[in-house]
Amino acid sequence: MRITAHRKAHFNAAHRLYREDWDDAKNMQIFGKCSNPNFHGHNYDLTVSVSGEIDTETGFLIDLKILKDIIKAEVEDYLDHKNLNLEVPEFKKLNPTAENIAVVIHNRITAVLEDKFDLEVTLYETPRNFVTYKGE
């Protein structure tokens, strides 16, 4: 039987949306107040969804304690209370949009999650603005 388990998480982070190759006027035109040179922050909510087959021996898809520990190490400890542009290597050259943050989170979790699982991450930048990434 194929099933999906979900785990919610939360982290706070600051960022600035901008492109170095654009002047301030173009960055402001495209990204608006999100391009504030002094950064701005969000209280991000995250749902990590793991899909696969139920283990006939344990009855688990995945031990949710294991998933909790992965999320803590790969997302919360890595991103919480950070300035994404300045402190997170992936965003030194990558614009930290919700879309790109979701891809980075997906890639970090995928790197340590067993291959037998499919992964989907949904990142809420605000209660009304969110993205979902399932991988390629």
Find the catalytic residue in 76, 114, 125, 136.
Answer: 125
On whether the CB atoms of residues 18 and 91 are closer than 8 A, the answer is: no
Distances (CA, A) of 17 to 41, 82, 84, 89, 116: 11, 15, 10, 16, 35
Find the catalytic residue in 74, 76, 81, 87.
Answer: 81
| Paired residues of 120 in beta bridges | 49
Q: Can you state the percent helix, strand and coil of the chain, rounding each to 5?
A: 35, 30, 35
Whole-angstrom Cα distance, residue 60 to residue 21?
Answer: 49
Instruction: For residue 112, give the amino acid letter.
Output: V
Tokens of 63: 């031990």
Find the catalytic residue in 34, 42, 74, 106.
Answer: 34
Is 125 catalytic? The answer is: yes
By annotation, the residues acting in catalysis are: 34, 81, 125
